[in-house]
Structure 1
Amino acid sequence: MSIALKYKHRTSQKKSELIPVNDESWFRELIEAAGDWLWMMDKDTRYIYSNSKIKNLLGYEVGDIIGKTRFELMTVDAGQCTATELDGIMQEQSAFNNIEIIALHKEGHQVTLQASGVPVFNEQDEFCGYRGFDRDVSEHRRREEAQALSHKRLVESQQIAQLGHWDWDLVNETLFWSDEVYRICGLEPGQIKPGYEVFLNFIHPDDREEWKRAVINAMSGSRYNMDHRIVLSGEDRYVHGQGQVQLDDTGKPIRMMGTIQDITERKLLESALNILADFHPSTGLSGYYRTCVESLARVYDTRYAFVGLFSGDAQQRITTQAVWANGEFVSNFEYDLTGAPCTNILDIKKKLISEDVARLFPQDTFLGKLEAESYFGAPLLSAEGRKMGMIAVIDIKPMKITPWTEPILGIFAQRISSYIERNRAEKEIKTSEKELRNIFRDMQDTYCRTDNNRVIIRLSESIKQLLDYQVDELLGANIEDLYEEPAKRQELMETLDAGEGSIQNFEVALKHRNGSIIWVSINAHYYRDSNGNILGVEDMIRDINQHRQSELQMQKMSSALAQSADMVMITDDKGIIEYINPAFESITGYRFDEAVGSSSNIVRSGEQNLNFYRDMWHTILAGKTYRGVVTNRKKNGDLYYEEKSIAPIKNAQGDIVNFVSTGRDISERMENEKRLSFMAHHDALTELPNRTLFIDRLDQALAHARRYSRKVSVLFIDLDRFKNINDTLGHDAGDQMLAQLADRLGNNIRQHDTVARLGGDEFAVLLNDIETEQDVSQLANMILLNLEQPFEVDGRELFITASIGICLFPDDGKDHGTLLKNADIAMYKAKELGKNNYQFYSADMSARAFQRLTMENSLRRALEREEFRLFYQPQIDIETNTITGVEALIRWQHPDLGMVSPNDFIPLLEETGLIDPVGYWVVATACKQMQTWYDAGLPELTMSVNISGRQFHARDFIGKIKSCLNESQVSPEQIEIEITESVLMENQQSTIKALESLAEFGFRIAIDDFGTGYSSLSYLRRFRIDTLKIDQFFIRDVIDDPDNAAITSAIIAMAQNLKLKIIAEGVETQAQLAFLEKRDCRYMQGYLFSRPVSADEITKLLMAQQKNHGTKNSR
């Protein structure tokens, strides 16, 4: 702090000479606010002024120090030290800066202050005193001292751990080594300038490339962490290095820092441990000694190493067990310990002499012969501390003693001692075993001795007969491992303690080798040493398994009888009840006291005749077991099915004395079997016989008919257009109709006849003992007549018809397969003839069925062979007498059969699934033909194409239709998609979506065969429809049938009200034309105008129309 003041030049008054001339108030405020202790001294260095900070620093009030010198505020020693330093300064009246002094706080503790002051002179240049300030640096000094101590400890720790640190400046290419790095490299600190190449030269040549790679990898972000060797004066040392790289903001390495540690001794220890761990005892004790001495010599890098054991009890001579000398094994010898280092080894545990050993032990001539310089040795001690021998390594050069030298030697000594002890113990065990085998060779009971850890140490050979183990297998095992319940051994030990060290007849279960349980009785007692200390337990084990098993078997049998869910009854040889179990009581209702003494007939039901019981008694009295199912009666009168077995029990003389009856109530199972049998042979919906049962009964009927020369008839019934009901009203409605139909069919047949459901809407009737065909015809007519009555389903009246095929045995077939096939053929013939009728099978039907099969095979290749043709039937506007549209109709030109009727092959297309590819071929071909007509300038037309339900409901239908159209330049408005009424009603939500998509694209929609399905006005209004086509079924009889006339008139009126275009199909007469014309039906189609003709014929008609009317297309 520096404060510039102006002073008066007066010398008469000391204090006034130091006071500023100006007003002092502002100045005093300023110095009171200062953070340091500000003071003024007179020329005798006594304080004449102080600010209040003296209180904070030393605890004094300002008045306490006025008139005192600085030295009065210090300890004696500190005051003397400070006086020495300040005397010269003050004599010279010089300024002083940052002089450190030790002041004494008022409370007694020391405070380190840093003082600065300047001399003050008056105007005559006379010295008046000092002014200055002190600052508290106690905390700063404490931190410096702590840092210094920490640094000292770090340096010492690194020296102890042989751990150095380094710092490599990659930018300036400078490398810093701590002192310990120099020492690890065998150098004095600062001896050389550290650098990359300098350290690289220290690294073992074989490790340099790996070290370089590790450094390069560290520069790329990996952590540097590796062990490698360095070479110092020809000696390999192992070091462990680790470090990390510091990067700048661009990711470039700028600094690498880390540590290096000498791990040579650790590596030697690891090597020694690995050698001992890898040793396999199969080479025996001598091999183990040889392995150890060779390892010792290599670990300590010495010329000589040996293992020796005492010769005799005097411990004055040892006999070597293995000797390594100059890189090879040499013969063993005896070594006199008199005056040898070995004596000291045996007294002080270990002896490490790094040099001058031969001079220190001149009596040991052996060392002199070897010219030994250094000697490390350790005793071999037993577990009780008994001296057994020693190990030693000797060299002709000094050996360095490191922190690892003694531990490594100790590990070798301990391992060798343990191995010797183990080998000796094994010999003792084998000797004891031989003795025990001789003692217990013929003993039936098994002797077992365990130590206090329950480990088996002796065992007699009878253990083989008891548990099927060899003695050697169990020695060293814990006896608890043989117990089925290991806790039982603890229980035995507690009983021993309670019984003063012995126990008799302790029963326990042991585990046999094969996993079975062997029950034994154990007599056990403690055995002790000469001082009475317990050494373990001796057991005498007796096999009581057979006796125990018999007891357990009896207990199990008794428990099994009582707890069995099956009924058990024991009678004497006359059938009088002696015992029943609880299950018998529960099932029959008879109590134990009611049943015992009564005859076993108390449960007889009378359902079996006397022959049944005669056969049963014959079986059991012959000494055999009876098995069968019996219907018995409970006490309350209810019947139950019992699956029963009765076995005789004989005495020692072979006479039957009892019968044991066991039975199980299988009433529920029998009912289930009946139910399953019914389900396996009957239709689940109608409960009629299924195909399997029908064929079985048909085979029985045929066998009967063959035997008695009778006739049998098979009727095959298939419902007409049943699929429309399923598709329109749903499968639930269809199922209800099938169930009602089954009831009607059942009411039409005789009791010994059979009606069956073969699947779907197919039924069959089997008629036995037929006299004439007339009998069968009457039944068929009755079935068709019954079907005329409506079926009521969910409040609706539904109608259905059927097609029936009939065949007779033996005329139409000799087996069930032929009869069913021929009845099926006859049924198809009935469908071809218009459905709702029956047909008897005839031989020509088989030929037709074969033809149908041939046609199906040909049909599968008709498309690729280009056998299909398109014909077109004109649609006429009767007001203008012009062709306004055509309907594309497919024909099949078969190479052998000629032109095949659509009625013959279109059902086959639908059955085989070929309707999809053929249907799209029709659309594509029709579009191309439209394009041809347009290109020729002919009048514009509407092309109607029929789409099957399978096509319409396919997922890719819209895309395929568009694709067909895209192949030509025909406008979608000129294409009319025709679907049947039944297709319209299937899956209405998806139908609405598909119709909307077609309409949005521009296609027209027509409903074909309208009036034959189940749609209603409310349904039609939901769909986007352009045209209704009245089915020719109604047009055909419109003149003669008032019903058809009324329906046709209603359809026309409805279409007009809905503003739909309407086309009448199948117009063939002038009368039909007049009827339709009168009701304003403008568009017609039928043979009256033109049959379906080829494209060329349509071309001619259009050209003639164009000539007569002058019409042409607008393109």
Structure 2
Amino acid sequence: MRTDRLNLSKLGATGVTTLLLPFSATAHPMITPAGLMNFAEFSLIALGLLAAVLFIQHTRMLRSRERDFRERLDALPHIVWRTDTRNELLNLSGAFGRLTGMSPASASITDWIDVIHPDDREQAYRLWGAAMKDGRPFTTDYRMRMADGSYRHFESQGVPIVDSEGEISEWVGSIIDIHERKQAELALLEKEASLRLAVEGANIGFWDWNLSTNSIRFSQQWKTQLGLTSNKFPETLEFFQYLIHPDDQEKVLALKTQIQNNPRGQFSIEYRLAHTDGEHRWMLSPATVIEDPQTRERHLIGANIDISERKAAEQRMAHQASHDELLNLPNRRELNAQLGKVIARNQEAALILIDLDDFKSTNDSMGHEVGDTLLQAVRNRLQSCLGQGDLLYRPEGDEFAVLVENYGDREALLGLGYRLLNRLAEPLNIDQQRIFITATLGISLYPEHGDQPEQLMRFADAALYRGKRSGKNCVRVFDPSITADMQEWNHLKNALKCAIENNELSVAFQPQIELRSGRVVGFEALARWLSLDLGHITPERFIPIAEAAGMIDQVSQSVVAQSLNLIQQWTEEQRKALYVAINISTHQLHDATFVSRIKQQVREAGIPCHCIELEITETSIMQDIDIALTALRELSEAGFRLAIDDFGTGYCNLSYLKQMNVERLKIDSSFVRDMNASNSDGKIVQAIIALSHSLGLEVTAEGVEHPDQVELLHAMGCEQAQGYYFAKPMPAEHVQIYLDPDMSNVTPITSRKP
């Protein structure tokens, strides 16, 4: 410890020992009088020295306390600041340096402002200036730039310090980090904004029904939901009940009574409220009973969620489930349901099933867009024929159904059926194409034919397929014998499928004779079926089944293949003089791949196309005249012979006949069978032959069985004939024998005696 010595001799005294005075408070002075200084002088000096010592000690204590306070202040996480009235920065605590990276000791007010976020700077400076001007404490918040360049939120507070004269001498304050709190507030605001947007976007309105006072309040969104932009309407339960749809009044009032009787728990209901546009809006209204803790009043707090779109979607789905999408007609399920209602009322009714003939071939050949347009036209035509109360359905595909209640008598019902057929038979123009369609109708009656919807459907279907097997384009009413026919038909269908798979089908060839010379000019290929289990099945029985069951192409393929095998056995001369006539179905004619397929088959067999004559019926051609004419033209250009089979039994526009590239008309056997020179059949045959010759076509008569028929046909100018009179259809192995030059079973007509 340092010790300072005071030598009194320098003051003029002698004989005085050294007096030690403690300036570091480590020693006590000892005074030995040895001179002339009196005690008063000594005391004065001692007191002055003591005061100096005390002052120094006090100053050191204050500095220590200040240093200690400063250290504690710098240790605070907050920034503490002090400025004078001239806005000069007097002090900044150490937290400023730790946060901003700037030295608090050298920082100025400009540095302080510089770290404030640019977007917050103007507001903070303006508020600080206003506070200094008015002398009022202030609080504000802003963002400050940290040492790493990021910004954090701070709250700044300042108060003025007033001196003894009441004047502001300086300002002191603190800057507190509120970043986490601010982030939480911003997150809360975002959540509130999102919730508000969600509520508004979800179109949710709120209401508050005071169960104690029976008063009700509505939110603005509740009003907006119903178009109530004005506040002039009364917020009363009576007005609310007035808005409820009449059909929903009962269930809403029942729930209201339930709540009033037992006001606790949660509730939910769906109902409709009137909108100012005259429509109604579907609302889902969940609600909860709560009790005000202060007033003890009970409230039912609820929301109105607009579910009109959902309800509309549900209705659309229900409609789609019960109606056909393309034609917007009730489907099979709805038909069964309505049949059930009719039966429950024990009300007389008729079920008419309508199936379009050969629609599949038309749809496949012309495309589905044309097919859809055709179905729409059929719907419109059918509806135009129905009376009030008659209901039209579309059970499936190309099948329609009409449910006629209180149909009266069978005659009136059949009259409706034929009106439907005649209306459908009228030509249609679709995409600049002229289309002809026919339909077959099957009818079942309640209660005569059954008392279950499934029975009536099954029996009408059975009657319809009886009509299909009878030649189509007809009306059939169910009778019990049809059930047995249906069972037989299904049995034959399954057997035919097996026959095709097992190659049981064969081909018989019937000669076609030139009447002038008696020469064989060709053969017609006729499908035959000899079943191992069922015996011989006539074409009249299995061909309609093949057509209806979609197996006709397989049957025709077999006929073509066996016909080509026969022609391959002919000599070159025979190939030049003879041909084989093959029947083409409606489906084949309208199949876009048919022409290319048969050309490929003939080419692969090495057979000239002129050795094949393709026979097509009038009905097949008129099913879709444009596609038929295109196919016939392509076949003719390839070299195939073309003939119209069963001419006179269908309907064929003569203007189209000239465009068909056919070489021959074949007169149906029904006209030949009973013809004579004077009766109507004979006159029809005469007219067909004359028409054919006027168009440059040859004529072949089918079903010739008697010599007088031959003579009459020859006299009329008919070129060819076929029938049992000349030869029955024969297997392929007998054809070459029949063609032997020495055969005598056929002679020229001119050598025959009448």
- Normalization by structure 2: what TM-score? 0.65
Partner of 1:740: 381
Measured in 1, the distance between the counterparts of 2:549 and 2:743 equals 43
Structure 2 SS opposite 1:643: strand
- Give 1:1080's match in structure 2, choosing from 701, 717, 723: 717
Asked if 2 retains the 8 angstrom alpha-carbon contact of 1:619 and 1:626, the reply is no
- Give 2:414's match in structure 1, choosing from 781, 785, 791: 781
Partner of 2:231: 592
1:889 Cα shift? Answer: 0.8
Task: After TM superposition, list the pairs within 5 Å mapping 1:21-36 onto structure 2.
Answer: none
Query: How far does the alpha carbon of each residue in 1:679-731 deviate from its partner, in whole angstroms, 9 at most, with x for none?
Result: 442345665421121123345556x38xx8x9987554434566788779964
Partner of 1:651: 292
The reply on whether 1:803 has 2:441 as its aligned counterpart is yes
1:607 Cα shift? Answer: 1.2
Structure 1 SS opposite 2:246: coil
Asked if 2 retains the 8 angstrom alpha-carbon contact of 1:738 and 1:761, the reply is no
Aligned residues: 608
CA distance 1:508–1:829, shift in 2 (3 Å): farther
Partner of 1:477: none
Structure 2, unaligned runs of 5 or more:
1-71, 78-92, 104-114, 145-151, 159-173, 749-754
Which of 1 and 2 has higher RCO (CA within 8 Å, sep 6+)? 2
Partner of 1:617: 256
Partner of 2:147: none
Structure 1 SS opposite 2:571: helix
Task: After TM superposition, list the pairs within 5 Å mapping 1:229-268 onto structure 2.
Answer: none
1:1055 Cα shift? Answer: 1.6
Asked if 1 retains the 8 angstrom alpha-carbon contact of 2:632 and 2:660, the reply is yes
- Give 1:859's match in structure 2, choosing from 499, 513, 516: 499
Structure 2 SS opposite 1:840: coil
1:945 Cα shift? Answer: 1.8
CA distance 1:564–1:650, shift in 2 (3 Å): farther
The reply on whether 1:506 has 2:141 as its aligned counterpart is yes
Measured in 2, the distance between the counterparts of 1:672 and 1:718 equals 33
State percent identity of aligned pairs.
25
CA distance 1:492–1:692, shift in 2 (3 Å): same
1:1084 Cα shift? Answer: 1.7
Measured in 2, the distance between the counterparts of 1:943 and 1:988 equals 25
Partner of 1:975: 612
Partner of 2:653: 1016
Measured in 2, the distance between the counterparts of 1:538 and 1:569 equals 43
Measured in 2, the distance between the counterparts of 1:810 and 1:900 equals 34
Partner of 1:895: 532
Structure 2 SS opposite 1:825: helix
Measured in 1, the distance between the counterparts of 2:700 and 2:595 equals 25
CA distance 1:985–1:775, shift in 2 (3 Å): closer
Tell me how large the CA RMSD over aligned residues is: 5.2
CA distance 1:696–1:557, shift in 2 (3 Å): same
Partner of 2:731: 1094
The reply on whether 1:1067 has 2:707 as its aligned counterpart is no
1:1071 Cα shift? Answer: 6.2
- Give 1:1027's match in structure 2, choosing from 664, 689, 703: 664
Query: How far does the alpha carbon of each residue in 1:307-357 deviate from its partner, in whole angstroms, 9 at most, with x for none?
Result: xxxxxxxxxxxxxxxxxxxxxxxxxxxxxxxxxxxxxxxxxxxxxxxxxxx
AA at the equivalent of 2:478: Q
Partner of 1:886: 523
Q: Who wins on radius of gyration, i.e. which is larger?
A: 1
Structure 2 SS opposite 1:847: helix
Measured in 2, the distance between the counterparts of 1:846 and 1:448 equals 105
Measured in 1, the distance between the counterparts of 2:467 and 2:341 equals 28
Structure 1, unaligned runs of 5 or more:
1-434, 441-446, 458-486, 510-518, 526-535
Query: How far does the alpha carbon of each residue in 1:224-268 deviate from its partner, in whole angstroms, 9 at most, with x for none?
Result: xxxxxxxxxxxxxxxxxxxxxxxxxxxxxxxxxxxxxxxxxxxxx
Measured in 2, the distance between the counterparts of 1:802 and 1:959 equals 32
Structure 1 SS opposite 2:610: helix
Asked if 1 retains the 8 angstrom alpha-carbon contact of 2:362 and 2:624, the reply is no
Query: How far does the alpha carbon of each residue in 1:554-610 deviate from its partner, in whole angstroms, 9 at most, with x for none?
Result: 888888888874444445444545454166157344621443578534743571577
Partner of 1:718: 355
Query: How far does the alpha carbon of each residue in 1:782-806 deviate from its partner, in whole angstroms, 9 at most, with x for none?
Result: 4334346445555999784533153
Partner of 1:418: none
Partner of 1:681: 322
CA distance 1:600–1:882, shift in 2 (3 Å): same
Partner of 2:581: 944
Task: After TM superposition, list the pairs within 5 Å mapping 1:417-428 onto structure 2.
Answer: none
Return 560-569 or 1006-1015, whichever deviates more. Answer: 560-569
Asked if 1 retains the 8 angstrom alpha-carbon contact of 2:629 and 2:660, the reply is yes
Asked if 2 retains the 8 angstrom alpha-carbon contact of 1:805 and 1:828, the reply is no
1:451 Cα shift? Answer: 5.3
Measured in 2, the distance between the counterparts of 1:557 and 1:592 equals 25
Structure 2 SS opposite 1:1089: coil
Measured in 2, the distance between the counterparts of 1:676 and 1:1042 equals 63
Partner of 2:11: none
Asked if 1 retains the 8 angstrom alpha-carbon contact of 2:428 and 2:436, the reply is no
CA distance 1:776–1:762, shift in 2 (3 Å): farther
Task: After TM superposition, list the pairs within 5 Å mapping 1:73-152 onto structure 2.
Answer: none
1:491 Cα shift? Answer: 4.8
- Give 2:155's match in structure 1, choosing from 513, 518, 522: 522
Partner of 1:332: none
Measured in 2, the distance between the counterparts of 1:728 and 1:539 equals 80
Partner of 1:132: none
Asked if 1 retains the 8 angstrom alpha-carbon contact of 2:647 and 2:668, the reply is yes
Partner of 1:205: none
AA at the equivalent of 2:484: D
The reply on whether 1:539 has 2:168 as its aligned counterpart is no
1:1008 Cα shift? Answer: 2.0
The reply on whether 1:607 has 2:257 as its aligned counterpart is no
Structure 1 SS opposite 2:728: coil
CA distance 1:541–1:661, shift in 2 (3 Å): closer
CA distance 1:1048–1:746, shift in 2 (3 Å): farther
Partner of 1:690: 331
Partner of 2:694: 1057
The reply on whether 1:1004 has 2:637 as its aligned counterpart is no
Measured in 1, the distance between the counterparts of 2:197 and 2:303 equals 15
1:1062 Cα shift? Answer: 1.5
Partner of 2:83: none
Asked if 2 retains the 8 angstrom alpha-carbon contact of 1:580 and 1:592, the reply is no
Query: How far does the alpha carbon of each residue in 1:167-197 deviate from its partner, in whole angstroms, 9 at most, with x for none?
Result: xxxxxxxxxxxxxxxxxxxxxxxxxxxxxxx
1:522 Cα shift? Answer: 3.3
AA at the equivalent of 2:532: P
- Give 1:870's match in structure 2, choosing from 507, 512, 517: 507
CA distance 1:1061–1:655, shift in 2 (3 Å): farther
Measured in 2, the distance between the counterparts of 1:1039 and 1:718 equals 39
Measured in 2, the distance between the counterparts of 1:980 and 1:1066 equals 16
Partner of 2:569: 932
Measured in 2, the distance between the counterparts of 1:785 and 1:1046 equals 29
Query: How far does the alpha carbon of each residue in 1:94-150 deviate from its partner, in whole angstroms, 9 at most, with x for none?
Result: xxxxxxxxxxxxxxxxxxxxxxxxxxxxxxxxxxxxxxxxxxxxxxxxxxxxxxxxx
- Give 1:640's match in structure 2, choosing from 270, 280, 283: 280
Structure 2 SS opposite 1:1103: coil
1:1049 Cα shift? Answer: 3.8
Partner of 1:820: 457
Asked if 2 retains the 8 angstrom alpha-carbon contact of 1:523 and 1:541, the reply is no
Partner of 1:39: none
